Amino acid sequence: MDEIASIAHQLAAALSSGPAQACSMHAVVTANSQQTQILDAAGRRVRLGMSHAVPSLLTRFRSRAGAAGAFCVQLAVTGSGEYTASYSTDLPSLPPRVVLDASYRYPNDPAPGMDRPDAAVDDGRPTDAAVLAEVQALVDEFRREHLRLHGTAPALSAGYAEEEILAAEARLGARLPEDLRALYRVVHDDLYESHLLGRFRLVPLESVLEWHNPHDAGFHGFGRTGLFEDDPVVFESHPHGRVRRLSRNDWWVTFALDIGMNYATVDLDPAPAGAYGQVLMYGRDVHGPAEYVAPSVGHLLRASVAYLRAARPGDVWDPDDHPTADHDWLVDVGDADLAHEVAAHPDAQAIQKVHLRKIDRVRLTDLAGFPHLRAIRALDVRKQAGHVDLSLTPGQPVEQIDVIAAHFEPRLLTSAPTIRYVKLSGNSEPVSIAALTGLPELLQLDLAAAEVTDVASITGFPALRVLILNARQWDELLATGWTPHKLAAVGLDGPTGVAQAVAWANTVQGPEQPARGVHTIRGRL
């Protein structure tokens, strides 16, 4: 028995020590993570206390198989001790997802390489003298007030020469806002947290240059680029109209951070109602769009000085306490009147995403009181609602529908031409989806857990780019002779083994791509 076969045998022994019946394990192993699930003989997930040896065995299995990326393995054990291990180093995931067009991105998710805004052109001018004088005066006052309140001066070292700022801007390819240029003329950084800019610590210009990479897909993990996201909608920053509705922007220049690993940027590419140089925040505590913070860096500086000016020794200031409008609304409907609940919400203008639970029957038109609503998820705590009326309020900018319900009628979605992302599942009676051809912007469709009478109608969907179906639905659709070559990405859901996943991936990816392989080991305990 070679080493790979030996590892498979040890995994089978570890799995068989759990349930006293046939079961299987599906695992996806990468260099940094492992995702493992156990299924019973009926394909249902079960919770088992696996042997502590399993993670290390999977890591060894991946290494010995020579996987450079994801390593997918399926191990099935019968009640009599026979086992079959199938594995592949050519699948990105299990259930499988295949990207056919790596350049495709959803709307509002721009690729790196955005055009520079005209206002950001670096013209080589020196810092405006009046702005420099104002910032110098504010920093001087901040030093004096800090000394009065704390008995020590803030640790703010001398700033940069004009030539150094010009050189930094030449590397950025853009001119920094005038107040930020002036601040760097006066102060090098604020890494010792004097609260010169409130919650944020000014970083050195060298860090600004290091962090600003217009070829990067995002910013320190912020920004969405995947085609299989649960929440593909890019929400709008609040208040609306100030920040461009984008997942990322080459011209958000990061210049500060806080103790909670949130970052502050100056926005050199604002929306029409915004201001050049306005301050945005993204990071660990920002769950949604980039957060609007202030009209300018100068505004932050003036606010800090104003607080110190009015403070007395011993006063406690917590500039990290920054209340924000919540774009997300989670409600347990139960027996409540949904329309009444919506009408009673204190900030209806801010809500862009609704998650409805404890649902028996619900009408989506009851959400009409949220004029900026873009995403609706109807998921009962029992994993399935009773009946969801999919009619939507005309003019409401809904883009995403994610519904698990026993009864729904897809044709009602055609009243909302803005819809781009649809996931339907759980219905007890098959439904027709042919009417969805009337959605001119439908980009992503997931029907893998839905009962559908006419999967073949997908061939006529005009804008579709991402499609997720189960194995039976894929067989029916491909039997029409249609091919997914115009799609950007496809997925196979439902109980899927490695061999089935590889065969499906080879079918949908096209003959010009190298075939994916699967390896099988059989044995007995």
d(CA 3, CA 22): 25
The CATH number that domain 3-94 falls under is 3.30.470
Looking at this protein, which amino acid is placed at residue 70?
Answer: A
- The pLDDT assigned to 287 comes to 84
- The pLDDT assigned to 496 comes to 86
Return the structure tokens found at 382. Answer: 């029992």
d(CA 171, CA 418): 40
Beta-ladder partners of 26: 37, 74
CA dihedral (108, 111, 112, 117) in degrees, to 10, reads -40
Give the DSSP per-residue string, 210-275.
HH--TTSSSBTTBS---SS-S--PPPPPSSTTSS---S--TTEEEEEE-TTSEEEEEESS--TTS-
The Cβ of residue 216 has, within 10 Å, a number of other Cβ atoms equal to 13
**SS3 category, 329:** strand
Return the structure tokens found at 232. Answer: 């593909």
Nearest to 232 by CA among 519, 468, 514, 473: 468
d(CA 492, CA 498): 12
Contact predicate 431/409, CB 8 Å:
yes
- Strands 519-524, 361-363: pairing is unpaired
Query: What distance, in Å, lies between the first and last C-alpha atoms of the chain?
Result: 13
Contact predicate 461/436, CB 8 Å:
yes
Looking at this protein, which amino acid is placed at residue 469?
Answer: L
- Strands 519-524, 82-88: pairing is antiparallel
Query: Listing from the earlier edge strand, what are the strands of the sheet with 519-524?
Result: 45-46, 34-40, 23-29, 71-77, 82-88, 519-524
Contact predicate 266/255, CB 8 Å:
yes
Contact predicate 452/475, CB 8 Å:
no
Token pair 């970052």: residue: 263
H or E element that contains 56: helix 54-65
Looking at this protein, which amino acid is placed at residue 250?
Answer: D
d(CA 30, CA 67): 9
d(CA 497, CA 490): 17
d(CA 156, CA 5): 63
The Cβ of residue 512 has, within 10 Å, a number of other Cβ atoms equal to 6
- The pLDDT assigned to 383 comes to 64
- The pLDDT assigned to 47 comes to 66
Which CATH fold topology does 130-310 show? SMI1/KNR4-like (3.40.1580)
Which CATH architecture is the domain 98-109+326-519 placed in?
A: Alpha-Beta Horseshoe (3.80)
Domains of the chain by residue range: 3-94, 98-109+326-519, 130-310
Which CA distances in Å does 85 have to 13, 53, 72, 73?
12, 17, 11, 7
Return the structure tokens found at 73. Answer: 């393995």
Instruction: Note if the pTM is more than 0.85.
Output: yes
Range list of β-strands (E), 396-508: 400-407, 421-425, 444-446, 466-470, 489-493
Per-residue pLDDT of the chain (525 residues; tens, 9 = 90+): 699 999 999 988 887 665 556 788 899 999 999 998 888 776 777 765 566 788 999 999 999 999 999 999 999 988 888 999 999 999 988 899 999 999 999 999 998 889 999 999 989 999 999 999 999 999 999 999 999 999 999 999 999 999 999 999 999 999 999 999 999 999 999 988 899 999 999 999 999 999 987 777 556 556 666 899 888 999 999 899 999 999 999 999 999 999 888 999 999 999 999 999 999 999 888 888 999 999 999 999 999 999 999 999 888 877 766 667 788 998 887 767 899 999 999 999 999 999 998 888 899 999 999 999 999 999 765 666 789 999 999 999 999 999 999 999 999 999 999 999 999 999 989 999 999 999 999 999 999 999 999 999 999 999 999 999 999 999 999 999 999 999 999 999 988 889 999 999 999 997 788 899 999 999 998
- The pLDDT assigned to 284 comes to 86
Beta-ladder partners of 452: 431
Give the DSSP per-residue string, 88-149.
ESS-SSSS-EEES-TT---TT-PPS-PPPPGGG----PPPPHHHHHHHHHHHHHHHHHHHHH
Write the Ramachandran bin of 277: left for phi over 0, alpha for psi from -120 to 50, otherwise beta: left
Token pair 């993670």: residue: 55
Task: Kindly give the interhelix angle for 178-186 and 129-150, rounded to the nearest 10 degrees.
Answer: 50
- Do you know the residue count of the chain? 525
- The pLDDT assigned to 322 comes to 63
Secondary structure letter of residue 452 according to DSSP? B
Contact predicate 204/256, CB 8 Å:
no
- The pLDDT assigned to 333 comes to 78
> What does the buried/exposed string (b/e) look like for 428-452 if buried means 16 or more CB atoms within 10 Å of the residue's CB?
eeebebbebbebeebbbbbbbbbeb
